Amino acid sequence: MKDETMIEDTQIDSATAAAAPQEILPFTSSSPFTMGIELELQLVNRRNYNLASDAVDLLTWIEPRDLQKQIKLEMTQGMIELNSDVHTRVDHLIEELKGLRAALNRGAQYLNIDVSGGGAHPFQHWNEQRITPSERFHHLHEKYGYLAKTFTVFGQHIHVGVPNGDDALYLTHAFSRFVPHFIALSAASPFYQGADTKFDSSRSNVVRAFPLSGTAPTLTRWSDFEAYYDELLRMGIIGSMKDFYWDIRPKPEYGTVEIRVCDTPLTIEHAAHLGCYAQLLARWILTERPFVIANDFYLLYQYNRFEASRYGLNGSIALHGNNPADSSKLPIHEHLLGHLQDLQRYTQNDAEQLTLKRLRHMAEGRLSDAAWLRQTFTERGSLNDMMRLSSELWMGQKPPPYFQ
């Protein structure tokens, strides 16, 4: 991964890009299996724990000032984005996240607000959200209408470094087989617009409304992807890579593959362990090359994605074999446990062993942030109080659930 904070460039206007001469899309080589994460966080007031529109003011209170390069504004003003640096070890990532969290907490105190994880605020109304002052965000609001405000949902993006574009495409496709794992392990949005959605991750459904969402085309050579990109650029369908809302996408400017399906977890520890899981999977995938990428590669993808979003670790995963006799279904938690065992030989330190231990504990007990949120709501009888306790988890005022 390129050694810089993962700050995305300003989107190119589609009309300008369409008129531009033919461009290529060079892939920036980066150190394999490095990782970094982005976290979209909720800002909540302390009166009733609804979203607070204080993101712009919060950014001015971030100290030291250098951290403002890693704490960024998002589409609406009830959100703030935290960007990690590039890491090789999960324990180092956790320590950096603690420092960034401390800076956020200090700034939030000045504004009498709290910060929370979770994939969706449980009772905010999209029409009440305010677009962040920015040429790019106003362009997106004009283009997508109400979808821009409904996109007030909160995700974790995981970047894994790769050396070249061909490897990036292979990893992009191969990671898709593990999308049910990432959705189920991160699921933290059971409530939306004041109701229990019956989904562990309702956020997943909001993301799907955007054009060019879903999966990347089954291209395996970077030169072919460049031609595909250039064709869409010329037609004015896209203006940059940011217009691809795929669940997993290559990021050539950083030299990474980006996983985009995760809800933002309730704790920084869990967010870091999800990043480490992606790192370990990438080592296994690019070393053993276990998949053949063909036109039918995504045949069962939508079913598996739905199962994970709806039922979390209690869902099932359909496995497509070379012939009908080889096809099967497994509980997601069992499929996950098998791969956690396989990844043992790819760990390089005790911190990575701890990641596998904690994710195994979650899979065995079918534990999740979504379940914690539902249980807390049942005990408290109030979505407001549930959000208060959720913010205490994120801000480090209470120990992480099921990670003690």
User: Which domains occur in the chain, in start order?
Assistant: 34-395 (3.30.590.20)
- How many other C-beta atoms can be found within 10 angstroms of the C-beta atom of residue 20? 13
Please report the pLDDT score of residue 385 as a whole number.
97
d(CA 328, CA 218): 23
Please report the pLDDT score of residue 399 as a whole number.
83
Quote the crossing angle between the two packed helices 301-311 and 332-342, to the nearest 10°: 100
- The one-letter amino acid code at 213 reads S
One digit per residue, pLDDT tens: the chain, 404 residues?
654 444 344 333 444 444 444 447 999 999 999 999 999 999 999 999 999 999 999 999 999 988 989 999 998 999 999 999 999 999 999 999 999 999 999 999 999 999 999 999 999 998 888 888 888 888 888 888 888 888 899 999 999 999 999 999 999 999 999 999 999 999 999 999 999 999 999 999 988 888 899 999 999 999 999 999 999 999 999 999 999 999 999 999 999 999 999 999 999 999 999 999 999 999 999 999 999 999 999 999 999 999 999 999 999 999 976 666 667 899 999 999 999 999 999 999 999 999 999 999 999 999 999 999 999 999 999 999 999 999 999 999 888 887 65
Model confidence, pTM:
0.92
Four-residue CA torsion sign, 339, 341, 345, 347: positive
By the 8 A CB rule, do 267 and 13 touch? no
d(CA 385, CA 157): 28
